[in-house]
Each structure stands twice: as structure tokens, then as C-alpha cells.
Amino acid sequence: MQRVEDVYRLIWTAVEHRCPIAAVYHHRQRLLCPHRLGRNKQGQLRVLCYQYGGESESGLQSLGSPDNWRCIAVEKLSAVELLEGSWRTAPNHSRPASCIADADIDAEDYPERDPQKGH
């Protein structure tokens, strides 16, 4: 059983390094790219993720669809692990303000890593 602090650290690392994670949320395996980690207006920990694989209660749309954005309660994530693989995102994540009012870390604050430059 992962502690919330450990899950938070793994998500922070994923946002900072733009790497995907695997996790269980609402008893479903998810493949996620966390983009922003912080607190909502009620002070609860949330992560804004782009879900690119796994299961979803509402169903997944095609890759790149803005309908695959998820606002997830950090304390409800389990079996979180960092993955090797491509960073996935989509345009128009319209949910950041409603999902996370006070961001601790945002992928947009970290430039994309360029393998040609050794990053």
C-alpha cells in the first residue's frame, strides 16, 4: 500500500521529467501523463492527467482527443509506477483552473527534454 506522500513524489517526478505513469484509480488500471499537480479550491490534492491507455469508466476517445483529460484525487491512486515511454498530451486542457487552483508543479514550467542535446 503506497502512502499519499509516496504517490505525490512519484507524480511530481513524472511531471518534472514528462514521463508517463501506470496507476489504479477507481479499481481500474490507467495509463496517464500527469501535467499539473496541486490543490483544488477546497485544498484537496489533485493531479491533472492526460489518460492515453488502460480502462476508463467514461471510455477513452482516440489518442490526442481533449476528452481524455482527467482530474484525479491523489489519495485515490494506488499502484503508481513511473514508466518509460512517450509523453502524451492534447490541446485545450480546459480543466486546469477548475481541477487545480494552486499548482505545486506544472509540466509547462519545464522545457521538453531534447535527446539531441543530452537532456
In this predicted structure, what is the pLDDT of residue 58? 83
One digit per residue, the tens of pLDDT, for the chain of length 119 reads 899 999 999 999 999 999 999 999 999 999 999 999 999 999 999 999 999 999 998 889 998 888 899 999 999 999 999 999 998 988 765 555 689 999 999 988 876 654 444 44
Which of 89, 66, 96 shows the shortest CA–CA distance to 14? 89
Each residue's pLDDT tens digit, 73-87: 999 999 999 999 998
pTM for the full predicted model = 0.88
Burial (CB count <10 Å: 0-12, 13-18, 19+), residue 80: buried
- Coil, helix or strand at residue 110: coil
Answer for the pair 11, 21: CB distance below 8 angstroms, yes or no: yes
Look-up of cell digits 484537496: 44
Does residue 63 contact residue 24 with C-beta atoms inside 8 Å?
no
